[in-house]
Amino acid sequence: MSNNPTLLITGAAKRLGAETAQIFHDNGYDIALHYRQSKAPALLLAERLNNIRANSCEIFAADLDQLNEIEKLATDTVQRFGKIDTLINNASSFYPTKIGTATEQHWNDLISSNMKAPFFLSQACAPYLQKTKGCIINIVDIYSEKALTNHTIYCMAKAGLSMMTQSLALELAPNVRVNGVSPGAILQPSEGDLAMPDQTTILAKIPLARTGEASDIANTALFLATNAPYISGQIISVDGGRTAGA
């Protein structure tokens, strides 16, 4: 087993999750990289990381809608790396659910990926994090505080994740710190993604007049994991100043 700290991160095959895994790996972490369906990009990322440092990354498939798979993800990570130092709950579903069109399936998917899975994975990892005096970092959203039109269920779920962050910070203290990172406009939508509002409208509301990068979120998470021993129960907005205004 390695003496390096271990990061378990969900939804890490692409985009923000992949960038976060890369930055933590660059800073000496071994990576337990979770994916659900994106096996090919997960394998490519793991290959790249293992070429940099042998045996430093392992991929784990899990359906986070299933409690038994959530618990297995925690135990498999410990079996492979011997410990968990940091858990990042990054996996998330995001799409509009306009009133009149929302279904129970939409509800179950959005609540499960954004609130239920992070809670039960945090619960499964808590005993291991207690041993390492580790931390949990939840990827929240500025829309947990400021509603986004036609995204009621998503906003509700992220608001629940925000409160979970604060509640677990109390319950798991003093040995486990729990914080959140709340992204604003970080990545342009994927091609064909109709979920995000018009980017011109968004940019007009950002004091720094630009979207952020995935590295802005990843580096904030790294700070919370490695250089913030007296910060817990906090959610840091990384949004170019957007939430400072109306």
Q: How far is CA 101 from CA 62, 104, 145, 153, 204, in A?
A: 29, 10, 23, 12, 29
The domains located in the chain, with CATH, are 6-238 (3.40.50.720)
Would you call 230 a catalytic residue per the annotation?
no
Whole-prediction pTM value?
A: 0.94
Contact 135, 185 (CB under 8 A): no
Task: For residue 243, name the pLDDT band (cuts at 50, 70, 90).
Answer: confident
The mean per-residue pLDDT over the stretch 214-223 comes to 96
pLDDT above 70 for 195: no
Residues 6-49: pLDDT tens digits? Answer: 999 999 999 999 999 999 999 999 999 999 999 999 999 999 99
The sign of the torsion formed by the CA atoms of 170, 151, 102, 121 equals negative
User: Among residues 29, 35, 128, 154, which one is catalytic?
Assistant: 154
